Amino acid sequence: MTAAPPRSVRLTGWGRYAPAQVLTNADLERMVDTSDEWIVSRTGIRERRVAAAHETSASMGAVAGLRAIRTAGLEVNDIDLIVVATLTPDYWMPSTAALVKEAIGNTTAAAFDVAAACSGFVYGYATASAYITGGLARNVLVVGTELLTRFLDYSDRSTCILFGDGAGAVVLSAAEEPAPPAGIELTTDPQGAYMIWLPAGGSKAPASSDTVARGQHKIRMEGRETYRFATRTLASTGLAAAAKAGWTQRDVDLIIPHQANIRIIEAVAKGLDLPMDRFFVNVDRYGNTSAASVPIALAEAVNSGRVRPGDKLVFIAFGAGFTSGAVALEWTADPARGPLGEASVRPEDITVRQPVDWGSVDPIPPALAEILARPLPGHMDLSNVAPGEPAHAQTADSIR
């Protein structure tokens, strides 16, 4: 009996989705005692996206996921495992992965969620990679999707300015030929367990009118401690993953970091003695989208021409837990496929099935109701425009 050849893992597909509505720093200035200047100088964030009432983590994840499958040139049923990383699932059960599976029309895959907060996508990537090398799956869809704006306290200026909504995804595929060297590093430091957390709704403090009255269903964070952990751990985790691939930081062409705060990314660059142009940054436009942050940034980096075949990439993330994770990989896919995959899936064509007896609950936080009611950026409101003669045409003087 001959042993099966070891399987290698390739990243074959990537996709992203961001809701259309934008929440700017000027909007936040009207909600809490803050300023655009403070937010930009402390975080680098200028705006973030807000999901509309009909959107959920599953619906956004399904759009990004289907785009990644199309980019990979695969059929939906070629996917035999779906891993969704999210800290804002549609429900506690079923898994968001199960809903994504149905929404994209897949009938073949196993599907489950991973919970590692903002490091979730990297943990999902590691899980998918292990399934492939272990021979348990051939094509895995890994989705990071978050709808954080429904879990924020819009009276807490230290948290509500940071986060936004969106989804990103990759497809990892088995290949029989050897892959270039790669490395994965994951860490968890439970000392930080209560530095970023959502107190109520779990078995320790089930949701009740009391927990809601105390605001325990919203995200809480100790910003300074989280900042310290992030700057300390991101560089060391990234270096460890790179070392497993046989590289030093100088070999890395592009680092795709978790987009939490530009100052954290700058501190990591300084710690690694690398220039900022080795880091992809889009935190200014999305804020922190937790598990969606790295795959959104990856898709934007590739589709904007920042990544070429042969480039050495490192993804690095950190989050509640405290968790951190990094992936080092050499890019092998054709970057030109990304825009095609993105254009081939329209969000309006994807629906997540609702239970038939669902009494609708308005999911929108009152503080965001006005934001979500206004016309979308780039959308021209024509509802008050009555076709007819211009006023000057109705006066005799104007007729020549």
Ligand X SMILES: CC(C)(COP(=O)(O)OP(=O)(O)OC[C@H]1O[C@@H](n2cnc3c(N)ncnc32)[C@H](O)[C@@H]1OP(=O)(O)O)[C@@H](O)C(=O)NCCC(=O)NCCS
**Catalytic (active-site) positions:** 118, 258, 288
Among 8, 20, 38, 205, binds ligand X (CB under 6 A): 38
Among 21, 25, 43, 145, binds ligand X (CB under 6 A): 43
Minimum distance of ligand X from residue 249's CB (angstroms): 22
24 binds ligand X (CB under 6 A): no
Among 127, 261, 323, 324, binds ligand X (CB under 6 A): 261
Minimum distance of ligand X from residue 195's CB (angstroms): 9
Cβ distance to ligand X smaller for residue 131 or 227: 227
Among 7, 42, 220, 232, binds ligand X (CB under 6 A): 42
Structure tokens belonging to residue 240: 């460890």
247 binds ligand X (CB under 6 A): no
Residues in the chain: 400
C-alpha span between 318 and 290 (Å, rounded): 9
Cβ distance to ligand X smaller for residue 89 or 164: 164
Cβ distance to ligand X smaller for residue 117 or 307: 117
Minimum distance of ligand X from residue 290's CB (angstroms): 7
C-alpha span between 155 and 33 (Å, rounded): 9
Contacts for 364 with CB less than 8 Å, ≥ 6 apart: 53, 150, 372
151 binds ligand X (CB under 6 A): no
The per-residue DSSP string of 86-132 comes to -SS-S-SSS-HHHHHHHHHT--S-EEEEE--GGGHHHHHHHHHHHHH
With CA atoms as reference, report the closest residue to 292 among 106, 110, 51, 54. Answer: 51
By the 8 A CB rule, do 320 and 296 touch?
A: no
188 binds ligand X (CB under 6 A): no
Residue nearest to ligand X according to CB distances in the complex: 223
Locate the DSSP E strands across 33-77.
Answer: 47-50
Binding pattern for the stretch 79-118 against ligand X, x by CB under 6 A and - elsewhere: ---------------------------------------x
Among 166, 319, 321, 325, binds ligand X (CB under 6 A): 319
Residues paired with 174 in a beta bridge: 9
Cβ distance to ligand X smaller for residue 50 or 161: 161
By the 8 A CB rule, do 153 and 118 touch?
A: no
8 binds ligand X (CB under 6 A): no
Binding pattern for the stretch 191-210 against ligand X, x by CB under 6 A and - elsewhere: -----x--------------
Residues paired with 8 in a beta bridge: 175
C-alpha span between 145 and 289 (Å, rounded): 8
228 binds ligand X (CB under 6 A): no
Binding pattern for the stretch 207-226 against ligand X, x by CB under 6 A and - elsewhere: --------------x-xx-x
Cβ distance to ligand X smaller for residue 74 or 118: 118
Instruction: Provide the 10 A C-beta neighbour count for residue 168.
Output: 33
315 binds ligand X (CB under 6 A): no
**Side chain identity at 335, as an amino acid letter?**
P
Among 260, 268, 292, 328, binds ligand X (CB under 6 A): 260
34 binds ligand X (CB under 6 A): yes
Cβ distance to ligand X smaller for residue 41 or 398: 41
Minimum distance of ligand X from residue 46's CB (angstroms): 13
In the block, tokens 């910003």 appear at: 223
Tell me which residues in 283-312 interact with ligand X (CB under 6 A).
Answer: 288
Structure tokens belonging to residue 5: 């050849």
C-alpha span between 234 and 231 (Å, rounded): 6
Among 7, 46, 138, 157, binds ligand X (CB under 6 A): 157
DSSP, res 40: H
Cβ distance to ligand X smaller for residue 98 or 221: 221
Cβ distance to ligand X smaller for residue 133 or 158: 158
Minimum distance of ligand X from residue 81's CB (angstroms): 26
By the 8 A CB rule, do 332 and 177 touch?
A: no
With CA atoms as reference, report the closest residue to 226 among 57, 88, 43, 49. Answer: 43
By the 8 A CB rule, do 354 and 26 touch?
A: no
The CA-based angle 168-274-293, given to 5 degrees, is 15
Binding site for ligand X (CB under 6 A): 34, 38-39, 42-43, 118, 157-158, 161, 196, 221, 223-224, 226-227, 230, 260-261, 288, 319
